[in-house]
Every structure is written in structure tokens, then in C-alpha cells.
Amino acid sequence: MNLPNKITLSRVVLIPIFMIILLVPFEWGTIEMFSGQLPVHHFIAALIFIVASCTDWVDGYYARKLNLVTNLGKFLDPLADKLLVTAAFVGLVELGLAPAWMIILILSREFAVTGLRLIAASDGDVIAASQLGKLKTWIQIIAIAALLLHNLPFTAMSFPFAQIALWAAVVITVFSGWDYFMKNKQIMLKSK
């Protein structure tokens, strides 16, 4: 297994660690930051999530730089991204930090586009990630990180950055899903 794929797998390995630290109510106290309070275990979970999210850029960088792009990597990388983001969004709903209806919209788009890709693959076609899809992923990551950090440092300013980021994630997620289907409708039409 090459280096980029090992980095991708490290992202998958971090997911259960992230979820345990996020959802188990550890009594590690709170951190006071920017005139707000944050449970220590949420802070640690946010750091793990941010590190795991950054491995997406790192594995892609090394795959291209070292010319190590493989079919396994093409499969594992988006799967690892979807698993991490899905786990984080479900955790946020469990903690009451994100409304379930917004997360259902986001996850529905993810499943629908994955289904479209599977239909395309069965016909020998590949649907590459679009720039809009990549932007969607980064906005989702920013929204998740802001929610995990309980909107710090914006709490002191009474600026709802985390909620705005979540709304932006919902809007761009739905729009990018629509874009994928409009640009690839011929795949669905020719599929039997």
C-alpha cells in the first residue's frame, strides 16, 4: 500500500476515535476561550476532526506529486471523506448542535451523488469531482469545525458564524448535487 493510501486510511482510523471523544460525556472540564466556554472533549474532538480533514489535502498532494494515483486511492479517498463528514454531522445532531432536517438534506445529496457515480461506473463512465463539489466539502468541514467549537471565537461578538456556515453548507450541498445530476443526466437516461 502506498503512502497516500496509508494517509487516507489514517483518516478512517481517526473516525471512531473522534466519535468516542465527541459523544461520550467525559468529565474533563471546560475551556474558557473568547468569552465563552467549551467542553474539553468537544475541543479535542474538533482538533481530531480538523487533523483528519487535512489529511484529505495531504494524501491528494502526495498522490499527485509522487505519481501514486491508484484505483484503490480513487475509491478510498471519497469514501473516507464521506465517512468522516457523515460521522461528524450525525454526532452534531446527537448533541443538539445541528438540526436533523439540515443534516438529512446534506446526507441525502451525498447518497444520491454516490448512487449516480455507481450507475456511471457500472457503464464504464467516471464522474470526477467537480470544483463545486470540492468547495462543498470544504464548506461542510468549516461548518462542522465551527459547530464543534461551539461558535468560538464568534460567541463574544454575538456573530452566528457556525449557523451561517451550516446554512451555506446546506445551500451549496443541495446546489452541487443538482449540478452533478444536470451535468450527468445522460448517464441516468442511458442506464438500463
Mean pLDDT, residues 52-67: 91
Q: Which among 60, 84, 75, 59 has a CA at the least distance from the CA of 141?
A: 84
> Is-contact 191 123, C-beta < 8 A?
yes
CA distance 57 to 131: 14
Mean pLDDT, residues 159-185: 94
Q: What's the pLDDT score for residue 88?
A: 98
CA distance 154 to 173: 24
For residue 70, the enclosing domain spans 3-190
Query: Above 90 in pLDDT, residue 32?
Result: no
Write the DSSP string, 18-34.
HHHHHHS-----EEEET
List the CATH number of the domain containing 58.
1.20.120.1760
* Total-model pTM: 0.91
Mean pLDDT, residues 142-152: 94
Q: What's the pLDDT score for residue 162?
A: 95
Whole-number CA gyration radius for the chain? 18
* 165 to 33, 91, 102, 105: CA distances (angstroms): 20, 17, 12, 15
Query: Above 80 in pLDDT, residue 4?
Result: yes
**Would you report the helix, strand and coil content of the chain in percent, each value rounded to 5?**
75, 5, 20
Q: Could you report the per-residue pLDDT of 91-134, keeping only the tens digit for each? A: 999 999 999 999 999 999 999 988 888 888 787 777 777 889 88
How many helical (H) and strand (E) elements, i.e. helices and strands, does the chain have? 7, 2
User: Is pLDDT larger for residue 34 or for residue 137?
Assistant: 137
Query: Above 90 in pLDDT, residue 55?
Result: yes
User: Is pLDDT larger for residue 130 or for residue 26?
Assistant: 26
**Domain total of the chain:** 1
Q: What's the pLDDT score for residue 40?
A: 95
State the chain's mean pLDDT as an integer: 90
CA distance 91 to 128: 29
Is the peptide bond preceding residue 153 cis, with omega within 30 degrees of 0?
yes
CA distance 97 to 74: 32
Q: What's the pLDDT score for residue 72?
A: 80
CA distance 126 to 110: 16
Query: Above 90 in pLDDT, residue 22?
Result: yes
Q: Could you report the per-residue pLDDT of 72-94, keeping only the tens digit for each? A: 887 788 889 899 999 999 999 99
